[in-house]
């Protein structure tokens, strides 16, 4: 009986941890719901499969466009256009056990010189509609 209770507790704990670790990033339906980061781009590179990563000057956070190259974005042209320039990044509030300090943020909107270069919220709305 004690073994059975132990396995139930262990199974339930494992299930809860799996939910905390594997929960997907929720994309906000309204850009006003996003958090904002602004700064000078110091590094752009490919991470993960087709992801585009951005690092801003003085910011330890890595911002990424999930599957950005699948959306038609090109790392070389982004580097030419954005390196050394100020950009605005909008991203959802999200926490996962895999990144407890929040050092990797899923980028939803990328703005440069008042123009949106990437807007995942609109892409998802257009895909549904």
CATH number of the domain to which 91 belongs: 2.40.50
With contact defined as beta carbons under 8 Å apart, do 69 and 54 qualify? no
Nearest by Cα to 58 from 78, 41, 80:
41
pLDDT at position 27, please?
Answer: 81
Between residues 5 and 22, the one the model is more confident about: 5
d(CA 106, CA 113): 21
What is the average pLDDT across 102-110? 93
pLDDT at position 101, please?
Answer: 85
20 has pLDDT over 70 = no
DSSP letter (8 states) at residue 70: G
pLDDT at position 21, please?
Answer: 67
pLDDT in tens, 35-81: 999 999 999 999 888 999 999 999 999 999 999 999 999 999 999 99
Scored b (16 or more CB within 10 A) or e, 63-98 reads: bbbbebeeeebeeeebeeebeeeebebbbbebeeee
pLDDT in tens, 73-103: 999 999 999 999 999 999 999 877 777 788 9
Could you give the number of structural domains in the chain? 1
11 has pLDDT over 80 = yes
Regarding beta strands 115-119 and 109-112, do their DSSP bridges make them parallel or antiparallel, or are they unpaired? Answer: antiparallel
CB count, 10 Å around CB of 39?
A: 18
17 has pLDDT over 80 = no
Q: What is the extent of the structural domain holding 10?
A: 2-128
Nearest by Cα to 91 from 66, 58, 128:
66
d(CA 35, CA 93): 7
Residue 28 — pLDDT band, cuts 50, 70, 90? confident
pLDDT at position 63, please?
Answer: 97
């Amino acid at each position: 009986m004690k073994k059975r209770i132990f396995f139930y507790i262990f199974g339930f704990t494992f299930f809860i941890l799996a939910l905390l670790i594997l929960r997907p990033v929720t994309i906000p339906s309204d850009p006003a719901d996003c958090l904002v980061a602004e700064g000078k781009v110091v590094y752009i590179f490919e991470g993960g499969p087709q992801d585009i990563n951005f690092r801003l000057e003085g910011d330890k956070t890595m911002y990424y466009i999930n599957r950005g190259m699948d959306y038609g974005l090109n790392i070389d042209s982004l580097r030419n256009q954005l390196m050394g320039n100020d950009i605005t990044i909008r991203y959802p509030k999200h926490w996962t056990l895999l990144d407890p300090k929040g050092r990797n943020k899923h980028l939803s909107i990328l703005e440069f010189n008042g123009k949106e270069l990437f807007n995942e919220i609109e892409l998802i709305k257009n895909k549904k509609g």
